[in-house]
Each structure stands twice: as C-alpha cells, then as structure tokens.
Chain A
C-alpha cells in the first residue's frame, strides 16, 4: 500500500503500458478471431477441428507458450504481444461461432430469400445478434489477457508485471503487492465495464 501511494506515478505509467499491451493485442486478436469464428459457424465439418486446435493451444501453460515466442522473437514487446493474441483466439473465436450459431435459422433463410448478399446477412442480421455473446467472450478473454500480460514484466519490461518481477528480484514485498493489486484492480474494472456493455447490447 505504501508503495502504491509513494510511487503512484510509476504504477500509473506501468498500468497504462499494461492496458495498452492488452488493448492492442485484443484488437489484433479480434481481427483474427472474427473470421475464424465465422468460418467455424459456416462449416460445421471443420468447426470441431478449428476450435479443438485453438482449445489445445489454450491449454498450454502461458509461461511455456511465452517461452516459445521468446525463442522466436527474442526479449521485448513482441513475444508477450504474440502470446496474448494466440492465447485469446480460443475464447474469442468460440464466442463468435457460438453467437452466430445461436441465431434462428429462419432469419437467415428469410435474409437470403429477400436478397441479402452473404456479407449483408452477416453484417445486418448475424453480427448484431451475436454481439452480446461476443462481448461476453471479449470480457473473459480480456481478463485472462490482463493476467497473462503480467508476464510482460519478465520478458519485455512492460506492464504491471515489472513491479512484480522487480519486487521478486529485489525482495521488495511492497512492490510485488503493489503490482498484484494494481493488476487485479485493472481486471476487476475491465470485467465490470464489459459486463455493463454486455447488458446494454442484450435485448
């Protein structure tokens, strides 16, 4: 607590870096996961393979996954960023697929029959109705990403993990506690915010 008060600027700066890392990774992860989720919803044959593969990646311990990317990209921002993007795929793609699959087929039949192009069916009918489920997926992914992003302190010197790992090295419990509390607070805040958004879009 003392550390939080006495070094509030440092904690705030690291928190900002933490948020930036997670936010950028989330945007990139979504850009990959949305097409994958649509593909899974459109092709029931390959859906189990696709989601199964992503699920398998998801079960790899994050530290092990990160080690692979450090090997590939070296230390710094890149390995933690890529690890976050890869790690989030399962939760995001699955929620996109589930959101689309939950829409009643009659609406899709009507949409096609009335003359919507496949893209229009997606943007006008399927995405808007899949949104609450997808936001739920984003919420779960974001919380996991905030937790995993603390490892960025270890491999890249970014985010609140810096406090935790420096604290471990320097035997400064106050730093460790400060980093942990700040990261937890961040996760709780993001969770609350996205729960609110989810409720806003659910009708």
Chain B
C-alpha cells in the first residue's frame, strides 16, 4: 500500500472531567513515508495526539486527515486495521501464540491461512527472529526485547498505510533499545511506511526522526529536521531539552548524520 500522509488541522482534545486541554490547536503535516517523532515530557499530549489518528481518542475540535480523508468519516474499526499500532506495554495477547499474535490483523481482514502463515514467517525474519523457534511460542516465554519485536511485526503485518508507535522501546534496557532502534530504521526504511513515533527520550528522537516535533503542555514548541532543531532551537524550552545530557555526543552525531545525508 502507498504510504499515507497524515494531516492534523487545529486538533484540540480535552478529556471528560479534566479542566485543561490535553492537546490544543495542533496543526501538523506528516508526509507519505516520513518518520516524525513527537518528543516531549510525559503529560505533554504527544500520546494523545498520536491516538487521534486511529480514533482511540475523540477530538474536541479540528480534523485529522489520512490521505486527505477525514478519519471521522471512516469506520473506526476499518481505519485501525489499516494503521499499525505499537504501545510501550506491547500488549501481546496472552491466549495466542506468537504466530497468532502477528497474524491477528490479517485474520481480521480474512486473509487465507496460507497467506497468513507465509506473512508471519516473513515478518519474524524481518524483525530478526527465527520463525521455526518463535512461531509457536507463548508471549509469556519471551523477553522484553523479543516481545516488542513481535509487537512491531504484529503492527505491520497487514501492510498498514501508516504506523503509530507510542514509546515502543521505553520499557526495554538500553542495549536492547539501541538494537531495536537500529532495526526500526532498517524496517521503516525498507517499507517506507509513514510513521509517527512518540518518545520522551531525546537521543531516541534524534536517532530515528526525519523530523522532530517538540511538544509541551499540549502545544507544538518546534517542528523541524533534527539538525535544525538542534542548531536553532525555537524556544528556551527546546534549547534546554535538546542540549541537556550528552551534548558533545549529540553534536558529533548530528554532524555525521547531516554529512551522510548531503553526500
């Protein structure tokens, strides 16, 4: 399927019984095949904004368009089947094998048995797990890193038009996280799936993003290429955020990445 573009137009969300908006008047365009990272502290509205795309969250105001179609016009269940979704807690179904988990959306879409089996093996290989060893395992017999690989495989199984990832690597240790990030770059690079990735980890954002959107208190502070956000922070908050921690490393990393891109 062609990668979809995703457009937010004046999106405002307020949860029932809460005074403050979770997200206020956000407009943003995510191009087809782009990997956009929503970066910000917890409670800044990044997950909420993500969940408006597959209608897990209802809008107070504004529109969300997938390929110029207002998602409010689509059947929510069909929409969700066409958009991959990965969450931090993974949420593998404990009553199903690894293969059944990966095949869940294809089976909802009534693919044939043979198609599903072939796709499951293909995806296990794609996320770096041996199909013969993992196909019939139970989720309870997986490590955190393995579970999240399966989570990613499950999300992309039915070749979604877009991929939504909500802090997917937040619960695994640093070594595994780095490996998963590297693989995500490879996988998304291969698939060219439009991806929105939510994180509070600045390094992760710079490692993955085509474009970084820094959020704070339900609004966008700055949106731009990682290099630009790093070189020219739009607000004191962004400056503080992107220059915190291992600044030297990030400086070096950004330079290298920018050189690689321009050559």
Contact = CB atoms under 8 A, between A and B. Distances in A.
Nearest to A117: B77
> What interface size band does chain A fall in?
20 to 34
Given A113-B85, A114-B155, A115-B108, A104 B91 contact: yes
* Of listed B91, B108, B138, residue having the most chain A CB within 10 A: B91
Contact of A114 (B51, B94, B104, B138): B104
B257 to A, nearest CB: 31
A10 interface: no
Contacts of A107: 91-94
Given A107-B92, A125-B93, A129-B94, A113 B105 contact: no
Nearest to B104: A114
Contacts of A124: 93, 104
B95 A113 contact: no
A184 interface: no
Interface in B57-99: 77-82, 85, 87, 89-95
Interface residues of B, number: 26
A128 B104 CA distance: 15
Contacts of B80: 112-115
B78 A115 contact: yes
Contacts of B54: 113
Given A112-B56, A115-B108, A116-B108, A125 B155 contact: no
Given A116-B77, A203-B138, 20 more contacts: A103-B94, A106-B89, A107-B92, A107-B93, A108-B91, A109-B87, A110-B85, A110-B87, A110-B91, A112-B80, A113-B54, A113-B80, A113-B85, A113-B164, A114-B85, A114-B155, A115-B82, A116-B104, A125-B93, A128-B95
16 contacts: A106-B91, A107-B91, A107-B92, A110-B90, A112-B80, A114-B104, A114-B108, A114-B154, A115-B79, A115-B81, A115-B82, A116-B104, A125-B95, A128-B95, A129-B95, A203-B138
Interface of B: 51, 54, 56, 77-82, 85, 87, 89-95, 104-105, 108, 138, 151, 154-155, 164
Interface of A: 103-104, 106-117, 120, 124-125, 128-129, 203
Q: Which 8 pairs between the two chains have the least Cβ-Cβ distance?
A: A110-B91, A115-B81, A106-B89, A115-B80, A106-B91, A113-B85, A128-B95, A107-B91
